[in-house]
């Protein structure tokens, strides 16, 4: 029988009523003739509660025990979902990560999936099991210890299972009914997309869109797994939600597919840095070692052997960045006159595969922001993306103005 993967996020399994509702959706797909692999998250709020317990007991916790604790939320949901399906007359069984087994690296709390053998679950399908309910977010490391994949890891689990089992599709059920041209909470004209290319979704996810986890989109693109994002709370049809697929399967041809934003950004500028080979490596190696996630980078024109270096990072990582840069300055590996920090900026981006073949997107974007009196602090581009840093107070205005200017409320 063909295999379908269905993933239910925390809000979709937040209580027993929602688990029953999700189970009914699974039953519909079983009735269509699918063998179904259901990937479940912990109930909404459960992982945060478990993390809180760990941090209260041991602020400098052992990551292996952290994984043992926080992975338990998914185990509970998997068992409850399997029981619910059994009560409906659907042959189902729950599986924890180590039982499959989902083999991962040993990077506890941030493990990566290396292999998912299919023999155990396929044997049970052959014996009459119709649904395998798998605890998402978890696996087993080389040392036999439980590992977790990091926040949002259940999305990655679902895509990995779809790839391993050659699933017809991977349906991601969440609290939104698809991927929108921008955040509907900011722009009431935001439109749900019927389809979006993997590359566009990957950029949107990495730039602040919260619908799908970035690693799951990367994996889906690599293994050509068709993803469908759906709402757990609305009636479904075969055309519901948004299909994330290969570029050639996307019918719309607008130059811009969506506008993304990231509110909590910071801009840091090192003034009067020596302009010589290796200086950038010194700066950004220190930041990387400190766990600072650097994004946009701009180096000014050199004057008399000195230059300014500007970069952005999440505002919550500024303290680590300051400490790392101060440390290498004290050691004599880096000399700069001042570190200027702006914690009140936001990143706004336009994304679209149509940029490859249509010119003028950047000019239009900059003109729109200029007309609204919004000053651009930093610009970065890629083949299908343009991002700018602006004052945070203008973020919503920028998103709305760009959404209107590129007519994203209208289909192509």
pLDDT along the chain (412 residues), means of 10: 95 96 96 97 94 91 94 97 98 97 94 96 97 97 95 92 97 89 91 92 82 88 92 74 85 83 94 90 94 90 85 93 94 91 96 89 96 95 94 97 94 76
Residue 305 CA to residue 299 CA, distance in Å, equals 13
What DSSP designation does 61 have?
-
208 is in an annotated binding site: no
Helix axes 16-31, 72-87, angle to 10 degrees: 60
7 is in an annotated binding site: yes
Residue 240 CA to residue 190 CA, distance in Å, equals 17
Cβ neighbours around 246 below 10 Å, total = 13
- How many Å separate Cα 169 from the centre of its chain? 19
H-helix or E-strand containing 178?
Answer: none
Contact yes or no for 13/19 (Cβ under 8 A): yes
Give me the pLDDT at residue 214, please: 86
Q: Which residue ranges make up each domain of the chain?
A: 3-175, 259-405
In sequence order, the 6+-apart residues with CB closer than 8 A to the CB of 36 are 3, 4, 5, 6, 26, 29, 30, 130, 131, 132
Express each pLDDT in 264-320 by its tens digit.
999 999 999 988 889 999 999 999 999 899 999 998 887 778 999 999 999 999 999
Contact yes or no for 131/5 (Cβ under 8 A): no
Give me the pLDDT at residue 236, please: 66
SS3 346: strand
Give me the pLDDT at residue 207, please: 81
8 is in an annotated binding site: yes
Give me the pLDDT at residue 341, please: 96
Q: Where are the alpha helices (DSSP H) in 71-197?
A: 72-87, 119-126, 153-165
Same fold, 3-175 and 259-405: no
H-helix or E-strand containing 1?
Answer: none
| Burial class (CB within 10 angstroms; exposed 0-12, middle 13-18, buried 19+) of 329 | middle
168 is in an annotated binding site: no
Contact yes or no for 202/384 (Cβ under 8 A): no
250 is in an annotated binding site: no
380 is in an annotated binding site: no
Give me the pLDDT at residue 368, please: 97
180 is in an annotated binding site: yes
Express each pLDDT in 109-127 by its tens digit.
889 999 999 999 999 999 9
Cβ neighbours around 28 below 10 Å, total = 11
In sequence order, the 6+-apart residues with CB closer than 8 A to the CB of 194 are 239, 242, 243, 251, 252
347 is in an annotated binding site: no
- The pair of structure tokens assigned to 373 is 């009196």
Which of 44, 53, 36, 48 lies closest to 16 in space, CA to CA? 44
- The pair of structure tokens assigned to 191 is 């439109």
SS3 266: strand
173 is in an annotated binding site: no
Pairing of strands 92-95, 131-135: parallel
9 is in an annotated binding site: yes
Give me the pLDDT at residue 252, please: 61
- How many Å separate Cα 98 from the centre of its chain? 24
Query: pTM score, two decimals?
Result: 0.82
- Report the 3 state secondary structure along 372-394: CCCCCCEEEEECCEEEEEEEHHH
Cβ neighbours around 75 below 10 Å, total = 18
Pairing of strands 131-135, 35-40: parallel
In sequence order, the 6+-apart residues with CB closer than 8 A to the CB of 367 are none
Cβ neighbours around 325 below 10 Å, total = 20
Phi-psi region at 381: left, alpha or beta (left = phi > 0; alpha = psi -120 to 50):
beta
Q: What are residue 230's DSSP bridge partners? A: 173
Instruction: For the chain, give percent helix, strand, coil, nearest 5.
Output: 40, 25, 35
Contact yes or no for 403/182 (Cβ under 8 A): yes
The total number of residues shown for the chain amounts to 412
Give me the pLDDT at residue 127, please: 97
SS3 50: helix
Angle (CA) 197 364 397, round 5°:
85
Q: In the CATH hierarchy, which fold is given to the domain comprising 3-175?
A: Carbamate kinase (3.40.1160)
Express each pLDDT in 342-378 by its tens digit.
999 999 999 999 898 888 999 999 999 999 999 999 9
CATH class of this structure's domain 259-405: alpha beta
381 is in an annotated binding site: no
């Amino acid at each position: 029988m063909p295999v379908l993967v269905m993933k239910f996020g925390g809000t979709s399994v937040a209580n027993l009523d929602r688990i029953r509702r999700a189970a009914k959706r699974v039953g519909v797909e079983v009735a269509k003739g699918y063998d179904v692999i259901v990937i479940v998250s912990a109930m909404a709020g459960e992982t945060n509660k478990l993390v809180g317990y760990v941090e209260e007991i041991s602020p400098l916790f052992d990551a292996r025990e952290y994984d043992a604790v926080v992975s338990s939320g998914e185990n509970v949901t998997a068992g409850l979902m399997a029981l619910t399906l059994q009560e409906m007359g659907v042959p189902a069984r729950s599986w924890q990560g180590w039982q499959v087994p989902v083999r991962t690296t040993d990077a506890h709390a941030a493990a990566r999936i290396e292999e998912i053998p299919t023999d155990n679950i396929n044997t049970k399908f052959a014996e009459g099991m119709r649904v395998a309910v798998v605890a998402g977010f978890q696996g087993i490391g080389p040392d036999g210890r439980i590992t977790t994949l990091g926040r949002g890891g259940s999305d990655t689990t679902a895509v990995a299972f779809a790839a391993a089992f050659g699933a017809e599709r991977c349906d991601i059920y969440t609290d939104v009914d698809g991927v929108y041209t921008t955040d509907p909470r900011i722009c009431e004209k935001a439109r749900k997309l019927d389809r979006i290319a993997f590359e566009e979704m990957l950029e949107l996810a990495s730039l602040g869109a919260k619908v799908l986890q970035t690693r799951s989109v990367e994996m889906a693109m690599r293994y050509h797994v068709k993803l469908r994002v759906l709402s757990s709370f609305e009636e479904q049809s075969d055309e519901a939600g948004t299909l994330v697929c290969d570029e050639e399967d996307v019918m719309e041809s607008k130059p811009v597919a969506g506008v993304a934003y990231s509110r909590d950004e910071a801009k840091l500028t090192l003034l009067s840095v020596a302009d010589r080979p290796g200086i950038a490596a010194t700066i950004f190696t220190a930041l990387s070692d400190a766990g600072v996630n650097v994004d946009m980078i701009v180096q000014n024109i050199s004057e008399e052997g000195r230059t300014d270096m500007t970069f952005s990072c999440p505002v919550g990582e500024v303290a680590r960045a300051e400490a790392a840069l101060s440390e290498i300055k004290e050691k004599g590996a880096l000399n700069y006159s001042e570190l200027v920090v702006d914690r009140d900026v936001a990143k706004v981006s336009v994304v679209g595969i149509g940029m490859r073949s249509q010119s003028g997107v950047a000019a239009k974007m900059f003109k729109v922001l200029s007309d609204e009196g919004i000053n651009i602090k930093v610009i970065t581009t890629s083949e299908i993306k343009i991002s700018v840093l602006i004052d945070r107070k203008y973020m919503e205005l920028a998103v709305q103005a760009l959404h209107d200017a590129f007519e994203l409320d209208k289909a192509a």
